[in-house]
Amino acid sequence: MGDFPAAVLFACSENSIRSPMAEALLKHLLGHRIYVDSCGVRAQEIDPFVVAALDELGIDRRNHQPKTFEDLEDTSYDLIISLSPEAQHSAVEMTRTMACDVEFWNTFDPSLVEGSREAKLAAYRDVRDQLLERIKRRFPAELKPQV
């Protein structure tokens, strides 16, 4: 598997939108092969638009329990992917005491979009689809169809 990580942590500001979405997507694709988790600098309940956007792909995220970096029970990650500048800072701090790669995928916060429910949901879909494509590019060898 080369440098393919055995354990991945996604991190964002509040563990309510971007990181739980990325966690769910990677678990859906590769959860049978690697350990995937998420956290935030702060913890806030899962955003209902995340649940709706993932439901469209058949992924249930209703039971997500948000957590912070301090709440992590295990820090044996091979890769931390931070999705916001604030999380990037915390990820770098965390890796001062552990051997772990950090990647920064600056990802738009769809909660900033105003307007109708459909306009907001469209923004969440865009972030979902961008994260999915990025995950597929990052882990291409592992996503080959199983024969």
- pLDDT, one tens digit per residue, over 55-65 is 999 999 999 99
Helix locations, the chain, DSSP H: 18-30, 48-55, 85-94, 117-138
Distance CA 38, CA 56 (A): 21
Domain count, the chain: 1
Is residue 1 a part of any domain in this protein? no
Q: What angle do CA 101, 2, 98 make, to 5 degrees?
A: 25
Average pLDDT over residues 136-141: 84
User: Is residue 134 classed exposed, middle or buried when 0-12, 13-18 and 19+ CB atoms within 10 A define those classes?
Assistant: middle
Q: Does 9 have pLDDT greater than 50? A: yes
Q: Does 37 have pLDDT greater than 90? A: yes
Average pLDDT over residues 128-135: 97
The whole domain housing 80 covers 7-139
pTM: 0.92
Is residue 146 a part of any domain in this protein? no
Is residue 68 a part of any domain in this protein? yes
Is residue 31 a part of any domain in this protein? yes
Is residue 144 a part of any domain in this protein? no
pLDDT tens per residue, range 100-131 = 999 999 999 999 999 999 999 999 999 999 99
Is residue 95 a part of any domain in this protein? yes
What length does the chain have? 147
Q: Does 143 have pLDDT greater than 60? A: no
| CATH code of residue 70 | 3.40.50.2300
Q: Does 36 have pLDDT greater than 70? A: yes
pLDDT at 2: 47
